[in-house]
Structure 1
């Protein structure tokens, strides 16, 4: 088969294919003619005569738009590509009528003729998405607007006029209407609202014949009814056995009217075709105002394997575009399905023409193999397999004489041999040489060898033969290549070649290679590598082929279609047609196809069989060896028994009987191995025990810094023990204090401890002196009472602050940022930057623990100093005991502080969540402020740039006017030229760029009244009288420059206004965000105050034994003593107060709930008011074009001055204006006469001057 022959001298004979992925690829032209596109070719098919007419796009680009007018006399074709165009053809002559440019930048997606056929609507695709209305007869733009920013599937005109349209597509539907504005007609689009329904792609739309309703499809299978741009109803299919279901099980792709508009037919991805009665739809939606309505279809039909993309109605037939089966079929009234077009629905991967007949074979990526007769232009049949087909080749005639066998390769590595029959393909052979996709085939010149290349860089070679009309393949082996080959070929009869990169690898192949195979099919042969080899019969990757008789050329398109071109230099030959028809049926039974992707390849099967054989041989050898060992053991046992029966002197020793010491060595080795394993196991246990010991030491012993010890005096009369301390340095707690105030308090406490230590030593000496003196018992008791009172005052200082209202100045200072008092250390404050959190309280707890550990550590150091002495005296031990008693008392006080901190720590998690939320809110608000501030700066920069541009353009305009004034020399008609200079004209550049725009848009860009100061009769396009033509041309040039400057000033001013609006909006947003930050900061400060006050209100109680409290009569002056009866009364009163507080709290909760409900009602009323206000504004804009202040209108209506009075005033004002206008015109005419007189005088002077100059010359 020859390939890659030029198509320049060929004409299109027929086209096979259909673009099933294209939505709505069946377009009705006339009652029996339907049009569809494939690539850049439009096919017009007469379904009655089966005659096909082809029309290719003008520029060769793919066709994106096909539209037919109502009477079927004109067809519009929109191409895709750079600067695409729309071509208008007449039908049936197919003559080019007109060409439209400028409707799209890259492609067209859809288009329609208006109902009256006067307009053509087109929608462009990515990147511009323009909706354009054309006067296609003059190729001029009527209206244009931006469509939705995603793909538009289709558009429709509503009703019989051209003023309303609908566009729909990916996730949207848009309603369009022509509206009259003060600048002319405009296209106004309104985006449809789904009203809570899931957002969906809308593929088809129908206009219902009642109540101005629109019916649309969805991608999830429901039908939606739209009213006034909103979803009003949702139609679902009623189901008696279960809940209501969607109308279809997938996307609804098409909807049409049938039976004279009384029935709607729907179809989609699920393969169901259902019919819905229009009257039933009207009835169910009239029963309710909105929501879901359920109804049953009047009929339904399921098509197995179908994926219906479109249905087109012609006469009494329905033509179905089915992408699932790759079929266009027709349905008659009797529901009989008849195929019309059958083609590939996937991508064609290979193509071959018959070697001796007019058949054409193709395969695609969904596993279909098609057979065509290109001479009769008919599709014959197809077969579909489970995996995509990747390669295809004919069986040579010297192997298969009738030429009806083909070899097809698939993506799972399977190769199938198919025989072409009269009505179907017959499977002759199936084998799997590869585990990866088959890519290429090549036959040797004599047909003896077939090489099959796969994607895993291997090539399997078979020897072929034919016996009794049966094709057989004998595997020789496979060659593993170094890389994927570009081409494979045969050089001669036994030299296989493969092109890898720029090198040719050649292998010598013969049948003996397969006979020497034992364990694998792999052929170990060294290739001969060359860089310049003539490669005959090399497979070309081009998708074009020449038929066997050189009469036709087949061109394959990637879209799944192909074209057959008749070559002018050859005529078709039917030499083998009779042979092909005679041998149309094979007598053999069709082979069973059991191969799949899970089946093993030939090499894998060989490897499995070889492994099975080896395992069987090993098992047999093991059995034989076991039997031999058993025989030898029995014989050896007999020899040992006979040796034992012999006399001692005649017996053979055990060493002599030891024929082979291998077993002994093995036993010794096993013993050594067991001992080593036991040693390793024991060592592992020791290491595990050491690890556990280290963990226990780290967990318990290492955490103890000092254990309690005992010290005795030299007389053994006194003893003292040290404190047990946990591990940790004294400096740890000093670095984790809550705040600087707490550190200051710590230093102050240390100074107090030093003073108290001094006092303790003095008290110790005083106790010693008291004990040693002859003090009475009364004096001793008084001394002890004073000491306990002092300790009680210290405990009272540690109590929480009970009342802060007495010190208003201090409270103000707290609010201003001096912080809040700590309960455990009342004189210290928490600074504002360290707010009360769980981490802060943990730091306080560590600080308190550090104080306790520090006091005990100092005592232990003093204990070590005394213990280091050689002899410990009683005085040293007594001093040490007094010091320990003091440390114990201080530790008790610190433990009370610790109880306070623990109590506060238990309630801190309640505030941490809100504290975190407030911090996150503040951080987010500050980030928004920074972003808004950056936006304000950018907007200000943009405004400054536009102002600079505006100043520059104003300077250009001033320079142009100054240049004009320079030309106005005496003798030049300034008034006439000034009118010319100020006349509004359109320059050529503007005419080219804005050819399709309306004049109202051009006029609206200028606000200079001087452009409209004179009429066309007074200012023509001719040079004024008395003016030099050069001066006139220069003035015209200046006029164009001024117009360009004014256009630029208008554009810059418009851009400047937009930038100012953006700047104002950004500044407003920034101020709002800054205010929000300030509010959050105030809330945070208030929250900190509330949190500290709640902590100060916590109550902490501890128990002291009565023996620890001793008071005197004088100490009771500040005390209140209650009797038991009075205490009981107070307790009863407290219970009553608690009940009253509980009742008030319940009332408060009820009031809060009522307040919340009132707030919700107010919010609902506010939303309703806003909705009514918005509706009120929309109504006013729709009726009056702007918002009307009704109060001012009432004032005007109710005023005593009526309409007649206003009309009289208007007439008076008009008369006054007319009088002033006449005076101005009179002044202008006087000035013009003066200018004319001066011009005549100047002209006379100039003539005299010229006469004098000529006399002198």
Structure 2
């Protein structure tokens, strides 16, 4: 039996399908990767790897770079995955309200069939999952708020056992390959063994599935750190005799015997095994391998660790690794997965935005680490399409500026900065320096300009050196107009003089103006805004600045010809400023909508009652006075709500069809879900005083199915 994936997958919705068909936009590419997920990489077959990116599971052909996308059922994202040992069954945990676990049968290539759906295992999201050795059971752990450990007979789609795993995030769950019915969980400040009864644990948690006179239950025992510092635990492995070897935040290994620490393993002279958290521990062909956030992969003598003991009163056992490899000094490896067809080849998930191909043969002929794919790490702060080609520039909080070919979804250029990237703009063709000029802003207030240089990279060089990209980003200009994050970059043309200007806004509560002349950028000066400006629009020589404190600023009458810079770049005295402060009206709007809905319901009830009374009259039934009296519907006492902290203005744009200085703004937090139309024109506002749809000078425009969603 299998499910019809196409009928279950989440799709777009339209408020008016006759005007905007739900499929007016077709999904083309996903350029991201949730590289910071605890385990977001799996091997599908000899030529395909898989990972999650937001709302999609991506099957990537490592030979051709072709991608297959599987969209979530909830439409709210995917959170974790698990693959069984035969690489035939893939489980994907989702995010949303009472999300499902979807299990796909994979027989190779593009062949995925949705065969099972598991319900009611978590309230909001799943944090981790794992199949047992035989592949007939699946263990899952939910995230906040429930943190429930669930054992599934997934083929029958039924829950066998449930218990609360812990009170905080669990990073990993696994079945013992040697001891039937034993599980282990680990995560924030804990590890726990489970044995089928009713408890869980904190550093490593150890569980067993036990038969009792009331049935099968989960019994958990928490690992006790004792004198050892409490640690979050990511990586661990169950040893054949039941002991558990775990990592630690500081980089040493901890050997657990039951719920107690037997010994802590470090290197000679009390050096840490890794200079950072141990993310994964595994066994491969008799060798014990540790993966660290320091970018190192190390191989250890398993027999030495298994028999490790101390007799001198010390709790530390010292030893050195047999082999080690530094993947890259900037790499932070989260997990590695072994290739199916090549015994020494592994693929690694790098939380610094990459997927690596590694040769762990540790021989003289071993291949150097190869970075196969590069992605943003963390938040993508800006995105700007080329005005003339099918390319797009993105900038990330990781300091990387990237250019993608959006026709085939490939990365064609990238450059890195030590500071966080905050904004980007692909400038209009021939307006400054070059037709391929990209302006990028950073957290230190620096503004950089790059051009795409073709032919500067040798396409025959290794991917690990520059990812075989077609272009190089060449730095052509740099300046520092601000002292903090550059929030926004825009260019505008001034009708009165035909010149083009660039505006940047910053967390330093200023906006800076430049004139874009032929082959050069001329600084004009800055205007104090008294608040952080998040967005800038320009119309008829007027600037509309949206602010984080709920204000909207109109800047006009800029006397460019009179500006004279001497002691300061401040040009406040050569312009005028008008401020609007947004007053929250959302509770009024929603209350009015409720009243209108209630009135319609009462009207329908009165019509029904009138028909009923007429029917009784026609039948000659005596009607009592109480039935004739209309029943008044009471509505609970209502009080207007205004947030204590003003919502931010995410963006504001001039109304292009308005001659009365009208504009639209979108608000953050509580006031999200609407566009609000306002105006700087006093006469326009006066006319709208009697308009029942205008509240405190704002006319709300509800966004379809986005009542509590901020529109950005």
Aligned 1:908-1057 pairs, distance under 5 A:
none
Provide the TM-score with structure 2 as the length reference: 0.68
- 1:444 aligned counterpart, secondary structure: strand
Answering whether residue 264 of structure 2 is matched by residue 234 of structure 1, we say yes
Q: Assess, with a 3 A threshold, how the Cα gap between structure 1 residues 285 and 522 changes in structure 2: closer, same or farther.
A: closer
* 8 Å contact kept, 1:84–1:104: yes
Task: Give the aligned partner of residue 405 of structure 1.
Answer: 437
Q: Secondary structure at the match of 2:305?
A: helix
C-alpha contact (below 8 Å) 2:434/2:451 kept by paired residues: no
Separation in structure 2 between the aligned mates of residue 35 and residue 387 of structure 1, nearest angstrom: 31
Matches of 1:482 and 1:251, distance apart in 2: 43
Q: Which residue of 1 aligns with 2:385?
A: 353
Q: How does 1:282-321 map to 2 (within 5 A)?
A: 282=306, 291-302=315-326, 303-314=328-339, 315=342, 316-321=344-349
Matched, 1:448 2:496: no
Q: Does 1:342 align with 2:371?
A: no
Q: Distance in 2 between matches of 1:460 and 1:236?
A: 54
CA contact (8 A) 2:538 2:654 kept: no
How far off its partner does 1:412 sit?
Answer: 2.1
Q: Who is 2:473 aligned against?
A: 425
Are 1:458 and 2:510 counterparts? Answer: yes
Correspondence for 1:1238: none
Unaligned runs of 5+ residues in structure 2 are 1-13, 15-19, 190-202, 455-470, 581-652, 669-712
Aligned-partner SS, 2:92? strand
Partner residue, 1:512: 561
Does residue 271 of the first structure (1) align with residue 286 of the second (2)? Answer: no
Deviation at 1:158?
0.9
Note if contact 2:423-2:489 (Cα within 8 Å) is conserved in structure 1. Answer: yes
Would the alpha carbon gap of residues 491 and 265 (structure 1) be closer, same or farther in structure 2, given more than 3 Å must change?
same
Change (3 A) 1:456 1:291: closer
Q: Which residue of 2 aligns with 1:218?
A: 248
Instruction: Give the Cα–Cα distance (whole angstroms) in 1 for the partners of residues 666 and 112 of structure 2.
Output: 36
CA offsets, 1:928-968, max 9 Å, x none? Answer: xxxxxxxxxxxxxxxxxxxxxxxxxxxxxxxxxxxxxxxxx
Match of 1:76 in 2: 91
Q: Which has the larger share of strand?
A: 2
Write the distance in 2 (CA, Å) between the matches of 1:159 and 1:175.
14
Match status 1:281 vs 2:309? no
Paired residue secondary structure (1:145) = strand
* 2:27 aligned partner: 12
Kept in 1: contact 2:419–2:443 (CA 8 A): yes
Q: Is contact 2:250–2:276 with CA below 8 Å preserved after alignment?
A: yes
**TM-superposition CA deviations, 1:247-303 (whole Å, max 9, x none):** 112211112233xx2222212222222111324435655999995322211112333
Q: CA deviation at 1:194?
A: 3.2
Q: What does 1:622-771 align with in structure 2 at a 5 Å threshold?
A: none
Alignment partner, residue 60 of structure 2: 45
Check whether the contact 2:490–2:536 (CA below 8 A) recurs between aligned residues.
yes
Does the 8 Å CA contact 2:486/2:507 hold for their aligned counterparts? yes
CA contact (8 A) 2:310 2:316 kept: no
Aligned pairs, number: 526
Task: Give 1:168 shift.
Answer: 1.5
Is the contact between residue 252 and residue 272 of structure 2 (CA under 8 Å) also seen in structure 1?
yes
> Is residue 472 from structure 1 mapped to residue 520 from structure 2 by the alignment?
yes
Match of 1:435 in 2: 483
In structure 2, what is the Cα distance between the partners aligned to 1:328 and 1:78? Answer: 22
Please give the alpha-carbon distance, in whole angstroms, between the structure 2 residues aligned to 1:502 and 1:535. Answer: 21
CA distance in structure 2 between the partners assigned to 1:94 and 1:367 by the alignment: 37
Matches within 5 A, 1:879-890: none
Q: CA deviation at 1:483?
A: 4.7
Distance 1:401 1:437, change over 3 A: closer
Q: Distance in 2 between matches of 1:486 and 1:184?
A: 59
For structure 1, list consecutive stretches of 5 or more residues without a partner in the other structure.
544-1257
Shift of 1:203: 0.9
User: CA distance change for structure 1 residues 482 and 250 in 2, over 3 Å: closer, same or farther?
Assistant: closer
CA–CA distance in 1 between the matches of 2:552 and 2:306? Answer: 75
1:251 aligns with 2:299: no
Q: Secondary structure at the match of 1:512?
A: helix
1-structure distance, mates of 2:579, 2:330: 52
Task: Give the match's secondary structure for 1:281.
Answer: helix
Q: State whether residues 266 and 274 of structure 1, in contact with CA within 8 Å, keep that contact through their aligned partners in structure 2.
A: yes
Matched, 1:183 2:210: no
Q: What corresponds to 1:86 in structure 2? A: 101
Change beyond 3 A, Cα 1:447–1:341? farther
**Aligned in 2, Cα 1:251/1:447: closer, same or farther, shift over 3 Å?**
farther
> Could you state the TM-score of these two structures normalised by the residue count of structure 1?
0.39
> 3-state SS of the aligned residue for 2:270?
coil
Residue matched to 1:106: 124
Aligned partner of residue 14 in structure 1, secondary structure: coil
Q: Deviations over 1:855-885 (max 9, x none)?
A: xxxxxxxxxxxxxxxxxxxxxxxxxxxxxxx
* In structure 2, C-alpha distance between the alignment counterparts of 1:504 and 1:287, rounded to whole Å: 73
1:380 matched to 2:380? The reply is no
- For the pair shown, which has the larger CA radius of gyration, 1 or 2? 1
1:84 deviates by 1.8
RMSD: 3.2
Contact 2:92 2:101 in 1 (8 A): yes
Query: Partner of 1:356: helix, strand, or coil?
Result: coil
Alpha-carbon shift at residue 12 of structure 1 (Å): 2.3
Deviation at 1:10, TM superposition (A): 2.5
Cross-structure match for 1:395 = 427
Measured in 2, the distance between the counterparts of 1:143 and 1:495 equals 65
Displacement after TM superposition at 1:161 (Å): 6.6
1:165 to 183, 186, 199: 183
Maintained 8 Å contact 1:504/1:533: no
Q: Secondary structure at the match of 1:10?
A: coil
1:412-467: CA deviation from partner (whole Å, max 9, x where unpaired)? 2221111122332111111112223322222123662112222343222211123x
Q: How big is the shift at 1:349?
A: 0.9
Cα pair distance change 1:509/1:29, threshold 3 Å: same
Change (3 A) 1:47 1:161: farther
| Residues 1:355 and 1:212: Cα distance change in structure 2 (over 3 Å) | same
SS of aligned partner of 1:11: coil
Give the match's secondary structure for 2:280.
strand
